[in-house]
């Protein structure tokens, strides 16, 4: 099979099964490295620059920019299919001939400098409407929102009647720009835990409305801090004209969603989070783009293949998402997307990214149909004949990780939404991997939903639960989660609703007796979250509201529901009502995050599972010196239950899901609970302890000297 190429030696040494595919991995890395060289030398004299300098120079040059000293406004746009270009707007009464971008280079870049008014003020007022007009070779004129626009807003009703509902470009140049006060939180990606709170600003209110950045800053950030999360993953930030797309049909990549507020208000949100010690990650959508023409990138310069593959090629449209697909082999597309990442890191101070739709990017079949059925056979990913991998898209993802590492060498976080299990995706670039820190463990929520839908409690297979939770690639970290926004969407149910359903409307009051349905639901909701948190990955994610068992599903206003906001909200009022049992689930989430923050099991080597008893329904494992015990049995509690443990000593309870304040029954006297090891091998461990473990209860034990 020959020698392993030097540029992938690290990956092959970690996983020797990759050796037959080393040449393929090497070629894929080489493509990204060649692009990296070209981008670094994309200067007039071919001198070298860093990738960060290339992207920063780009976002500071393309689009509209105001010089605070000269009061000049510059505008640059790439539109190779256009013959002429003009900037129009309220500032020149939409005159499509007065402000021509006469400087056109050989690559189709148009540029213009607009001097200040006679009184020294900017020629274009802050927040006024602008568009670019392209004249095509045919003589036709088309109106577009500038591709690098940093502000786009929904038209008022009268304007929409006259010109359509398309979003309008705005020249954002506030007299008082927000000044960040807080430094980014320290984060050591090799050792620090990552407990992520996934949130959508617009739904972050109990009221049926679109919530704002300011409301999120005031009302939601303190909740996240109180719960103990150390990172927020913000969804639907990139501007999208259609609210019900959940932010996944992006129209304006450099503009943040105006329906939630202004750019300065988002900066304040992120700055405030940083002051709380919380990282902020952006859910970035570079896998596809909205097909909108009037306010998006589609047919921006009149052609269908400027930013995207052509439709005629069969690669330009996603078969299911009704969206356009980027051409990652185009230099200017790489400039646009990579600069987009640098822009969000610099201008808004985001600390990293969750990349949406990575599976769709990685494969020419986009994970759809027969091509999307991944068995784990390496040939599906790495065989020259069978893999169907889009090498250019993979190269872009490698470059994106290079950029984040360069700009945020200590703290930048990247997460891939990949369901395929592509090998080396989360290995470092210098080892031959794609460079992501984590991938989402997307099989975990599917397992829990399948269990709740198809099996009764006594049919749950402990071995299958454990296998699914630990089935991940050695050396490649994953973000574990029991449910994300996907499980909350209309057509599905949250875990709490699968467990308790209609009883959540009638039986959650503490003033009435606890019913069997609610008792089971609360108990299992806690166990599912904790075992996922402690066994399923190296980081953990929760979708907002699920920490307290949010009922119902999530549905944005659309034609099918009469444009209702009833389900497009998070009912935080439920957890704030101390007469309702939601508080117990919330208390447990806080206790779980607090316990992890103190004792650290995330981002440590995978657990050793010593017991998965199918009859008793008990699972036990050790991780980072802690002992985790789960009793999933619906009715059986066990006294003096023998559990193997490697380290000798006295163990004490540090988390007990049966505490009253966590919605339990207080069946364990924790003050008197000291568990001394017996020097006798049990379940392949050097010692054992004997514990009382009630039904549907989870315990975490630590050596007494650690408490």
Active site residues: 356, 417
Nearest C-alpha neighbor of 291 from the set 386, 166, 407, 391: 166
Q: What are phi and psi of 371, to 5 degrees?
A: -65, -20
What is the distance between the alpha carbons of residues 540 and 562, in angstroms, rounded to a whole number? 36
What is the distance between the alpha carbons of residues 673 and 115, in angstroms, rounded to a whole number? 77
DSSP string covering 306-329:
SSB--GGGT-SB-TTT--B-B-TT
Nearest C-alpha neighbor of 589 from the set 504, 515, 535, 528: 528
Contact 70, 78 (CB under 8 A): no
What is the distance between the alpha carbons of residues 407 and 412, in angstroms, rounded to a whole number? 8
Phi-psi region of 470 (alpha: psi -120 to 50; beta: other; left: phi over 0): alpha
CB-based contacts of 35, cutoff 8 Å, min separation 6:
334, 395, 399
Q: How many other CB atoms sit within 10 Å of the CB of residue 54?
A: 22
Contact 585, 659 (CB under 8 A): no
- Read off the tokens for 178: 């927000």
Q: How many other CB atoms sit within 10 Å of the CB of residue 460?
A: 17
Q: How many other CB atoms sit within 10 Å of the CB of residue 142?
A: 18
- Positive or negative CA dihedral for 659, 660, 664, 670? positive
CA atoms within 13 A of residue 211's CA, in its CB half-sphere: 24
- Read off the tokens for 632: 């999933």
Q: Which residue has the tokens 């201008």?
A: 347
DSSP E strands in 217-322: the ranges are 231-235, 238-239, 252-256, 279-284
Q: Which residues pair with 215 in a beta bridge?
A: none
- Positive or negative CA dihedral for 505, 508, 509, 513? positive
Helix (H, G, I), strand (E, B) or coil at 591: helix
Contact 677, 688 (CB under 8 A): yes
Helix (H, G, I), strand (E, B) or coil at 445: helix
Nearest C-alpha neighbor of 458 from the set 639, 642, 640, 696: 696
Query: HEC states along 383-441?
Result: CCCCCCECHHHHHHHHHHHHHHHHHCCCCCEEEECCCCCCCCCCCCHHHCCCCCCEEEC
């Amino acid at each position: 099979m020959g020698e392993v190429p030097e540029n992938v030696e690290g990956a092959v040494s970690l996983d020797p099964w990759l050796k037959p595919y080393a040449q393929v991995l090497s070629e894929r890395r080489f493509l990204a490295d060649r692009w990296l060289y070209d981008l670094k030398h994309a200067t007039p004299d071919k001198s070298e620059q860093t990738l960060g300098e290339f992207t920063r120079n780009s976002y500071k040059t393309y689009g509209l920019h105001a010089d605070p000293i000269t009061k000049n406004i510059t505008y640059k746009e790439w539109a190779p299919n256009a013959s002429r270009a003009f900037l129009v707007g309220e500032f020149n009464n939409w005159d499509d001939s007065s402000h021509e971008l006469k400087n056109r280079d050989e690559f189709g870049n148009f540029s213009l400098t607009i001097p200040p008014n006679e009184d020294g003020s900017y020629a274009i007022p802050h927040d006024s409407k602008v568009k670019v007009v392209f004249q095509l070779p045919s003589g036709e004129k088309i109106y577009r929102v500038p591709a690098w626009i940093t502000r786009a807003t929904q038209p008022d009703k009268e304007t929409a009647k006259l010109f359509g509902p398309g979003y309008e470009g705005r020249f954002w140049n506030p007299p008082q720009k927000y000044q960040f006060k807080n430094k980014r939180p320290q984060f050591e990606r090799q050792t620090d835990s990552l407990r992520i709170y996934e949130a959508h600003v617009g739904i972050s209110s109990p009221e049926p409305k679109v919530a704002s950045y300011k409301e999120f800053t005031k009302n939601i950030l303190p909740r996240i801090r109180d719960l103990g999360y150390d990172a927020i993953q913000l969804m639907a930030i990139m501007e999208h004209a259609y609210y019900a797309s959940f932010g996944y049909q992006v129209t304006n990549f450099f503009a943040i969603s105006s329906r939630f507020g202004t750019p300065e208000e988002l900066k304040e949100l992120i700055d405030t989070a940083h002051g709380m010690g919380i990282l902020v990650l952006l859910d970035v959508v570079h896998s596809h783009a909205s097909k909108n023409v009037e306010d998006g990138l589609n047919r921006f310069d009149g052609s269908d293949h400027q930013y995207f593959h052509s439709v005629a090629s069969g690669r330009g449209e996603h078969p299911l998402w009704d969206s356009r697909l980027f051409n990652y082999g185009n230099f200017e597309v790489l400039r646009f997307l990579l600069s987009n990442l640098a822009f969000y890191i610099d201008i808004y101070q985001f600390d990293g990214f969750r990349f949406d739709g990575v599976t769709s990017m990685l494969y020419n079949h986009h994970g759809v149909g027969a091509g999307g059925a991944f068995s784990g056979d390496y040939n599906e990913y790495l065989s020259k004949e069978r893999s169907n991998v889009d090498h250019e898209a993979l190269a872009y993802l490698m470059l994106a990780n290079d950029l984040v590492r360069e700009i945020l060498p200590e703290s930048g976080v990247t997460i891939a939404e990949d369901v395929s299990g592509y090998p080396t995706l989360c290995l470092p670039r210098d080892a031959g991997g794609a460079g992501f820190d984590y991938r989402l463990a997307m099989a975990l929520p599917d397992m829990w939903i399948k269990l709740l839908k198809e099996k009764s409690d006594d049919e749950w297979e402990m071995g299958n639960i454990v296998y699914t939770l630990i089935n991940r690639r050695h050396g490649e970290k994953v973000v574990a989660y029991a449910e994300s926004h996907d499980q909350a969407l209309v057509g599905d149910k949250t875990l709490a609703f699968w467990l308790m359903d209609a009883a959540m409307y009638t039986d959650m009051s503490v003033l009435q007796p606890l019913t069997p349905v609610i008792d089971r639901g609360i108990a299992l909701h806690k166990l599912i979250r904790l075992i996922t948190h402690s066994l399923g990955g190296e980081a953990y994610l929760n979708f907002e509201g699920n920490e307290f068992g949010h009922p119902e599903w999530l549905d944005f206003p659309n034609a099918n529901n009469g444009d209702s906001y009833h389900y497009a909200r998070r009912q935080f009022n439920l957890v704030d009502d101390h007469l309702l049992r939601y508080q117990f689930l919330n208390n447990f989430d806080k206790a779980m995050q607090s316990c992890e923050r103190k004792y650290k099991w995330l981002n440590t080597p995978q657990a050793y599972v010593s017991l998965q008893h199918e009859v008793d329904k008990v699972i036990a494992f050790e991780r980072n010196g802690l002992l985790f015990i789960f009793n999933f049995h619906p009715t059986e509690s066990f006294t003096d239950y023998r559990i193997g443990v490697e380290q000798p000593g006295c163990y004490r309870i540090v988390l007990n899901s049966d505490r009253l304040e966590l919605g339990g029954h207080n069946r364990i006297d924790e003050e008197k609970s000291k568990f001394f090891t017996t020097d006798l091998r049990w379940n392949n461990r050097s010692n054992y302890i004997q514990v009382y473990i009630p039904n549907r209860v989870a315990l975490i034990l630590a050596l007494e000297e650690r408490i």
